[in-house]
Amino acid sequence: MTEPAPLPVLYQDVALAVVGKPAGLMVHDSALARGVTEFAADHLRAQFGRPIHLVHRLDRATSGCLLLAFDRDTASALGKMLMSREVEKDYWAICRGWPAEREFVVDHPLDGGPGKPQKKEARTAFEVLATCELPLPSAGFPTSRYAWLRASPHTGRFRQIRRHLKHLSHHLIGDSSHGDGRHNRQFRMLGIHRMLLHARRLAFLHPQTGARIEVTAPVDAEFARALALFGPQPAAGVV
């Protein structure tokens, strides 16, 4: 059996690390796994050769910054910082349509997913980074419009960004659960098969030293191909 490739380490010290999770890798075993046998948690324990504590989760289809701790005290401190919204989290997303405003906030309660019907506060700030119009027929129009967004969730609900975009009818491209199948097919024809949501940046104060840690994760080849549709952009400078 071939050993899995190590996950890229974006930041590491004695207490914690940030790794780049690839799209398609589930973070850990859960009721949603449905026969999945490979998990980031197992890979990371083997990769670091020590116990690890995942501080948060990313959806299987989402790529990018994944924060972990090497001891329970650091994990607990980081978890409290997440709960109190002291950790900055920015995602890149590509959606259908052009939002009416360059910056906007979605404040729309969400349930907790399967088996958790109670709705709770859910808030996401969005910023349009770029737009494009492609010669792809859709809904009777000869072209289709898309937007590249920065999404900053202020809460951590189940599939929050994906569901907030659906609520706006600006469906996330490649999202098979909450997206728009017509546009997903258009992107597959362009050779882009993944869900276009990427955990781009994490920033927080180190729970032991107080130093500010800021980490960004590069996109993979498919996401880069999608960004290229927006023409020349200063992507490296867009945080």
Q: Which amino acids are annotated catalytic?
A: 59
Residue 213 token pair: 């840690």
Residue 11 has φ and ψ, to the nearest 5°, of: -160, 145
Distance between CA atoms of 156 and 110, rounded to whole angstroms? 10
CA distance 59 to 225: 21
CA distance 158 to 114: 9
Please tell me what DSSP assigns to residue 78.
H
> Cβ(75)–Cβ(133) under 8 Å?
no
DSSP class of residue 152 equals E
Regarding beta strands 63-69 and 197-205, do their DSSP bridges make them parallel or antiparallel, or are they unpaired? parallel
What CA–CA distance (Å, rounded) separates 185 from 173? 9
Residue at token pair 């927080």: 204
